[in-house]
C-alpha cells in the first residue's frame, strides 16, 4: 500500500525522539553504581520525564490543533535537545534529574505526531501507517540499546552526546522536510475535550492503553536492572537482547499486524497482542535459564508489536477530526501517567524481590484484555458504538 510522502519525515523525527528514551534504558545499572543511587531513584530517571510529559501533552495537543503540528514538534525537539546536552555535561545525580525534566517537556508532543499521521492518511491507509509508526519505535529499540551498550565502555557522556547530535539533526530535518499542515482553528474547549474523552468508546480505549503502557514500561524501563539481578548478564548483553526484541517486533509489525488488522480488525488484533504479553510475563516469572528468558523476551516483543498500533488506530477512529489533536494529546498524557507509575514502581519491586517484577504487568494486561472483551460484547449488541 502506498502511503503519503509527508509521512517519511515524520517517521524520521519519531525515530530520533524515541532514541533518547531507549538510550537510557541500558544505562540504569551503571547510573545506580556510579552515582550510588537507589533502585527507586534509577526508576525516577524514566518516571520524572513522564510526569513532565503528562503536564505538557494536552497543551501540545491543543496548540497543535490551532497552529499546526509542525511548530509544536519543533519546539518540543528543542526541549529534548537541551535535556540530552545537559545530561552529557552533568556531574551530579540531581543535575541528571533536572536534565530529564527538561527532556520530559519535549516528550509531550507525541500526541501531535500521532495526530499528524491521522491527518495525512485515509481510513484505508491509517492502519498500515500506524504499523510503520510502531515499527519505527521498534527500530529505536534496536539502535538505541545497541548503541548505548557499545558506547558505555567510554563512559556515560558519549551516549548522550550522540542523542544530542541526533536531536540537532532531527530539528533541521523537521524544519526542512515536514510539511506544514493548514488547519482550521479548533473551537473545542478543555471541558469539551474531556467530555469527548469520556464517551464509552474513547474512554475504554484510553484505559486499555494506560494498562498496556503501564505493563510495558514497568518491565521495559527496568529491563537492565531485572536481567542484572536475575540473569547476571552485562549491560552490553542486556542491550543486545533488547535490540533482538526490537528486530522481532519490527518484523511482526510490518509483516503480520497490518494483514491481521484487515482480517479480524483492530480490536481483536489488540486482544491477541495482550494475550501474548500475558504469556510472556508468565514465562518471565518461571524462567530459570537464558534460553527461556530469550523466548519470553521474543513473545513479549510480539505482543507489544500487535497491541500498540492497534490501540492507537482504535483511538483515532473514535476521536472526531476536530478533536483529534486534543484527544491524542490526552492519550499522550495517559501514556505518560503510566510511565510515571511504571518505572519507579518496577524499580522499587526489584529492590524488594526481582522475581516479582513480571506479576503486576501481567495483571495489568489481564485487566486490559477483560475491558476488550467488554467492548466486543458491547459492539456485538450495538455495532459502531
User: How does residue 107 score in pLDDT terms, banded at 50, 70 and 90?
Assistant: low
Higher pLDDT, 203 or 278: 278
pLDDT of residue 253: 75
pLDDT of residue 281: 96
- Considering the chain, what is the average pLDDT of its residues? 80
Least confident of 65-69, 117-121, 183-187: 183-187
pLDDT of residue 175: 86
Residue 211 pLDDT exceeds 80 = yes
Percentage of the residues of the chain whose pLDDT score is greater than 90: 14
Helices (H), 253-323: 258-264, 266-286, 290-318
Q: What is the mean pLDDT of residues 75-82?
A: 86
Q: What is the mean pLDDT of residues 368-375?
A: 92
Percentage of the residues of the chain whose pLDDT score is greater than 70: 87
Nearest one of 385, 358, 234 to 296, comparing CA atoms: 358
Higher pLDDT, 348 or 272: 272
CA angle 212, 347, 110 (to 5 degrees): 40
Q: Which residue has the cell 527500530?
A: 139
Least confident of 126-135, 146-155, 192-201, 307-316: 192-201
Question: 3-class DSSP state for residue 38?
Answer: coil
pLDDT of residue 385: 41
pLDDT of residue 370: 95
Residue 242 pLDDT exceeds 70 = yes
Q: Where are the domains of the chain?
A: 7-177+188-381
Query: In b/e form, how buried is each residue of 275-287, taking b as 16+ CB within 10 angstroms?
Result: bbbbbbbebbeeb
Q: What is the mean pLDDT of residues 357-370?
A: 96
Burial of 303 (0-12, 13-18, 19+ CB in 10 A): buried
Most confident of 78-82, 132-136, 209-213, 319-323: 209-213
Q: Which fold has domain 7-177+188-381?
A: Growth Hormone; Chain: A; (1.20.1250)
- Residue range 15-39, pLDDT digits in tens: 877 777 777 777 777 777 777 877 7
Question: Cell triple for residue 117?
Answer: 499521521
Q: Are 127 and 78 in contact (CB under 8 A)?
A: no
Higher pLDDT, 349 or 16: 349
Judged by phi (left if over 0) then psi (alpha if -120 to 50, else beta), residue 384 lies in left
pLDDT of residue 185: 46
Amino acid at each position: 500500500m502506498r502511503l503519503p510522502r509527508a509521512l517519511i519525515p515524520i517517521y524520521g523525527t519519531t525515530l530520533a525522539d524515541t532514541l533518547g528514551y531507549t538510550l537510557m534504558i541500558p544505562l540504569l545499572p551503571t547510573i545506580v553504581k556510579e552515582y550510588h543511587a537507589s533502585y527507586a531513584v534509577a526508576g525516577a530517571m524514566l518516571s520524572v520525564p513522564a510526569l513532565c510529559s503528562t503536564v505538557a501533552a494536552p497543551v501540545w495537543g491543543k496548540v497543535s490543533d490551532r497552529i499546526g503540528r509542525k511548530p509544536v514538534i519543533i519546539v518540543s525537539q528543542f526541549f529534548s535537545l537541551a535535556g540530552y546536552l545537559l545530561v552529557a555535561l552533568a556531574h551530579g545525580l540531581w543535575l541528571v534529574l533536572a536534565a530529564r525534566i527538561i527532556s520530559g517537556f519535549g516528550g509531550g508532543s507525541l500526541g501531535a505526531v500521532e495526530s499528524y499521521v491521522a491527518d495525512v492518511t485515509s481510513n484505508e491507509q491509517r492502519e498500515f501507517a500506524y504499523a510503520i509508526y510502531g515499527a519505527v519505535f521498534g527500530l529505536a529499540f534496536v539502535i538505541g540499546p545497541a548503541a548505548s551498550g557499545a558506547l558505555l565502555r567510554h563512559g556515560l557522556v558519549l551516549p548522550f552526546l550522540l542523542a544530542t547530535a541526533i536531536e540537532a539533526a532531527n530539528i533541521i530535518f523537521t524544519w526542512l522536510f515536514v510539511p506544514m499542515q493548514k488547519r482550521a482553528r479548533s473551537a473545542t474547549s478543555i471541558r469539551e475535550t474531556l467530555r469527548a474523552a469520556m464517551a464509552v468508546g474513547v474512554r475504554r480505549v484510553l484505559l486499555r492503553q494506560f494498562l498496556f503502557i503501564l505493563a510495558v514500561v514497568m518491565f521495559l524501563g527496568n529491563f537492565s536492572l531485572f536481567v542484572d539481578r536475575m540473569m547476571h548478564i552485562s549491560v552490553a548483553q542486556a542491550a543486545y537482547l533488547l535490540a533482538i526484541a526490537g528486530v522481532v517486533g519490527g518484523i511482526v509489525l510490518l509483516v503480520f499486524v497490518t494483514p491481521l488488522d484487515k482480517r479480524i480488525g483492530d480490536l481483536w488484533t489488540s486482544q491477541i497482542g495482550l494475550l501474548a504479553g500475558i504469556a510472556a510475563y508468565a514465562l518471565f516469572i518461571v524462567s530459570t535459564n537464558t534460553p527461556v528468558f530469550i523466548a519470553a523476551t521474543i513473545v513479549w516483543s510480539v505482543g507489544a508489536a500487535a497491541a500498540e498500533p492497534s490501540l492507537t488506530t482504535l483511538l483515532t477512529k473514535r476521536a472526531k477530526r476536530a478533536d483529534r489533536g486534543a484527544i491524542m494529546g490526552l492519550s499522550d498524557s495517559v501514556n505518560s501517567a503510566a510511565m510515571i507509575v511504571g518505572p519507579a514502581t518496577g524499580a522499587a519491586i526489584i529492590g524488594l524481590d526481582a522475581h516479582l517484577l513480571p506479576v503486576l504487568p501481567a495483571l495489568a494486561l489481564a485487566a486490559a484484555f477483560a475491558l476488550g472483551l467488554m467492548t466486543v460484547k458491547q459492539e456485538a449488541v450495538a455495532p459502531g458504538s
